[in-house]
Amino acid sequence: MRETCHSEYGKIKSILLHPAKNSFVSDANIQEQWQMLNYLSAPDCPLALKEYDYFQSLLEQMGATIFTLPTSEKTNIDAIYCRDTSLATDFGLIIGNMGKAARKNENIEVALAAKSLGLDILGEIKSPGTLEGGDVAWIDEKTLAVGHSYRTNEEGIRQLKAFLNPKGIEVLVFSLPHYKGQDDVFHLMSIFSPVNASVAVVYSPLMPISLRNTLLERGFNLVEVPDEEWDSMGCNVLAIAPGKCLLVEGNPITKERLENAGCEVIAFPGKAICLPGGGGPTCLTRPLIREI
């Protein structure tokens, strides 16, 4: 066993969270912001706090060291989806630069928090480059997939490569489809969630052919999310240990397919913390160190 930041499926040893109580803050705060941020509906604050406490307890049961981001007047309710702020590497965090203008301050706040927590920082993506954490995922320890999307642009990817290529990391770029346009929440990890070394949850109808072929060539077993479970975030699956996954409730077909692929699946309620803002368990977390 060894520890690394370069995994999406190893047992989580440490993780960064922005709890609902610190990001949503209050019902009044939610009511003021949800439409501006293109949420599908206003999250119910008391329910969100309850759901998040349960979600966090699942991570605590794994024995993970949890770092939490504080409340900030400079960020908004989107801050709950803290994966987007950064990429964890063995050389330090790479602080992103949000493609969604309303989220720009999150990167500044997470950089300050990382320094106060004693976390190393390799570098920061600078404007005009943009990079969101939902668009990057480790295929293996030496290979990082990055989605070229409305949230992550060519300049952001160029800067990412400049940080990682000299370290021996191969960065594979996949252009994502237009789908619902610039205002939608659509990242690489909306269609691709690795859950162990050779199994990944995918939504093939929106996958770049090059990404799908890359995974097949590398021997991945692809667990296909059905059309009816796409909007309920069946493809947004967080591995908390190899083959042990967290999945939003309401995706029974995906759950069964994962179990048939040899995985253990824990379904958790996400009516308030996931569905309104389009962010599942991967979005809610920034895993730091994993054990593989």
Half-sphere exposure of 210 (CA within 13 A, CB side): 11
Percent of the chain residues topping a pLDDT of 90: 97
- Report whether pLDDT(1) > 90: no
CATH number for the domain spanning 194: value is 3.75.10.10
Which residues lie across from 244 on neighbouring strands?
241, 264
- Report whether pLDDT(183) > 90: no
pLDDT tens, 131-170? Answer: 999 999 999 999 999 999 999 999 999 999 999 999 999 9
The predicted structure's pLDDT at residue 29: 97
Closest CA to 34 of 235, 278, 288, 269: 278
pLDDT band at 180 (very low <50, low <70, confident <90, very high): confident
The identity of residue 57, as a single letter, is S
pLDDT tens, 86-116? Answer: 999 999 999 999 999 999 999 999 999 999 9
pLDDT tens, 194-213? Answer: 999 999 999 999 999 999 99
Instruction: Provide the domain count of the chain.
Output: 1
Mean pLDDT (the chain, rounded): 97
Expressed as residue numbers, the domain containing 201 is: 3-291
pLDDT tens, 204-244? Answer: 999 999 999 999 999 999 999 999 999 999 999 999 999 99
Mean predicted confidence (pLDDT) in 261-273: 98
Mean predicted confidence (pLDDT) in 271-282: 97
- Report whether pLDDT(270) > 90: yes
- Report whether pLDDT(181) > 90: no
pLDDT band at 184 (very low <50, low <70, confident <90, very high): confident
pLDDT tens, 247-258? Answer: 999 999 999 999
pLDDT band at 185 (very low <50, low <70, confident <90, very high): confident
First vs last C-alpha separation in the chain: 5
| CA 51 from centre of chain | 18
The predicted structure's pLDDT at residue 167: 98
pLDDT band at 172 (very low <50, low <70, confident <90, very high): very high
- Report whether pLDDT(22) > 90: yes
* Phi, psi angles (nearest 5°) of residue 213: -65, -40
